[in-house]
Structure 1
């Protein structure tokens, strides 16, 4: 039985592959939705010998099925956002400690000690609904920062502007994490010249603005905030892990997460580095749901294992897509 310790202590590609295959066998045995899908593809524990052989469950299954690999009681259900009448995804989580360990450890890996930061969160469209995994994560980061200035902002932009300028001028390290349209709203109200602040966008216009490509978006945000790089977070309701970009839209995964790029014409075939295809995510923190998910995002992977997100197959609501198609 694979445990959290196995997952969060992965230190090599060889170890990752070994544990991924163990998780596949565990989920094949314990997840009826996933095993039925695998059998339809004529895949089972006998003929899956490598990570490339593992079937990836289409992300749409989270809209129509309870995707569970555990009989433990569900502690919470994260849901995706959507317009009225839209069928949303539900990710039933039986062990919230897996999510907490995943995002805390990943944040530490990419950004260092959380207590070194004041966390300012501008996430109105997420705050205004129930069941957001992003809000759960950011609330925990705010609490973990132990900084009295950390907090959420809904529509109180003037208060946020004042706080951001004061903290940055004082030399405090600040992380402003925001939904894309709200960050654009903010720089239309105030031009900044920030020296000690990281701007992290989570993607998403949420129907508030026209969709623009990432290069144009990041150019606007860099100019408006007076920073040289825009950071990004790639996560979604159906995952318990995030990849981070420290600039230029190039993402890196924590050691227990990886992406593979599938052929858009043949979902069971993988394509070479640098070519565009569908993003398959392995998230081993998804131990109790499904660790192998075929997303609706398009992207490229590079030889150093970083990747880029280049759009979507359609308009499905997947948080973290950082090139919004016109």
Structure 2
């Protein structure tokens, strides 16, 4: 894989197949070992610097906390964009240095298209007050792209579920426009409580997570059951994404996420950091080939389960880990 420093954008990352994923991941590892000083020093510190890994389970995964304390990059020069995590007041933010925004755009457009359809065919109604109130959000960047490129004038952003949002939802229903209502958890809950069984059966309700301490904590299942009944939809969808990744996995209901072809999730034992597995329960490890210019191998702070078909669910958070602003919903 020709991803040397200064090379052209590695578009072929998004054409990876299950048969060549391992080879592409090992090439990405070799590239980042050479060009990412933070990752190289970490690999050396865990005594893994030596022979090339034989498989994915032999690759060291960088703890996600390094994005809070170091510049994690595999390129020279100035970043085109820096995405930052939300967090809470006084909490140190993660910083993801982006060499090329076109890489992120290709990842989220192709990722959504594979999971659903061309995003430009949808009306995007984005109820994201907590994210609109700050800068540097990768979620807002993605949502703005979807709104801007939508074929439907009804698309837009909303700080609250006001009359304008309701009118646009009704307009989309009457015109039979495919619609995504993308919302932070507490805002969707406020909307559901105020409107009392509004019919949004024509919509994909996409929960981004995030109660941010504003409401009584609910489990994700409790929240989705309530929203499902309130909005008259068969399921509540959600996306698994974070500042430190350039790809998203989508769930079409019941918390089971499916990653795109260039993203794979593994697990490791919560007790032994070198005990990695393809399936089972444990700490989630993410390989995101779209992160070729930062780090493709991320040890998250999420505990979950990975299934034989590559899908996964999130069960909670590691003890004593910081809570990311986009994932403050109690799981």
Distance in 1 between residues matched to 2:293 and 2:182, nearest whole Å? 28
Match of 2:6 in 1: none
Q: Are 2:87 and 2:326, in contact at CA under 8 Å, matched by a contact in 1?
A: no
Match of 1:282 in 2: 287
Distance in 2 between residues matched to 1:90 and 1:167, nearest whole Å? 37
Q: Equivalent residue of 2:44, what SS?
A: helix
Match of 1:174 in 2: 179
Match of 2:330 in 1: 324
Match of 1:212 in 2: 218
Instruction: Report the CA distance between 1:33 and its aligned residue.
Output: 0.6
What is the correspondence of 1:18-97 to structure 2 with a 5 Å cutoff? 18-44=23-49, 46-97=51-102
Q: Are 2:57 and 2:277, in contact at CA under 8 Å, matched by a contact in 1?
A: no
Instruction: Report the CA distance between 1:272 and its aligned residue.
Output: 6.6
Q: Are 1:231 and 1:244, in contact at CA under 8 Å, matched by a contact in 2?
A: yes
Q: Are 2:86 and 2:326, in contact at CA under 8 Å, matched by a contact in 1?
A: no
Deviations 1:59-100 (A, max 9, x none): 000000000110032111000002221111010111111101
Match of 2:300 in 1: 295
Match of 1:165 in 2: 170
Distance in 2 between residues matched to 1:32 and 1:265, nearest whole Å? 27
Q: Are 1:179 and 1:204, in contact at CA under 8 Å, matched by a contact in 2?
A: yes
Match of 2:248 in 1: 242
Instruction: Report the CA distance between 1:323 and its aligned residue.
Output: 6.2
Distance in 2 between residues matched to 1:319 and 1:250, nearest whole Å? 21
After superposing the two structures, state which structure 1 stretch, 62-71 or 112-121, moved more.
112-121
Gaps of 5+ in 2: 4-8
Distance in 1 between residues matched to 2:232 and 2:293, nearest whole Å? 43
1:127 aligns with 2:121: no
Q: Are 1:233 and 1:320, in contact at CA under 8 Å, matched by a contact in 2?
A: no
What is the correspondence of 1:173-212 to structure 2 with a 5 Å cutoff? 173-190=178-195, 191-212=197-218
Instruction: Report the CA distance between 1:45 and its aligned residue.
Output: 5.2
Match of 2:275 in 1: 269
Deviations 1:151-199 (A, max 9, x none): 1001352221222123123311110000000000001111212232100
Q: Are 1:80 and 1:317, in contact at CA under 8 Å, matched by a contact in 2?
A: no
Instruction: Report the CA distance between 1:303 and its aligned residue.
Output: 0.9
Distance in 2 between residues matched to 1:195 and 1:83, nearest whole Å? 34
TM-score for the superposition, normalised by structure 2: 0.93
Gaps of 5+ in 1: none
Distance in 2 between residues matched to 1:167 and 1:206, nearest whole Å? 30
Distance in 2 between residues matched to 1:21 and 1:219, nearest whole Å? 41
Instruction: Report the CA distance between 1:116 and its aligned residue.
Output: 2.0
After superposing the two structures, state which structure 1 stretch, 125-134 or 156-165, moved more.
156-165
Match of 1:233 in 2: 239
Instruction: Report the CA distance between 1:21 and its aligned residue.
Output: 0.3
Equivalent pairs counted in the alignment come to 323
**Ranges of 4+ aligned residues in structure 1 off by more than 3 Å:** 317-323
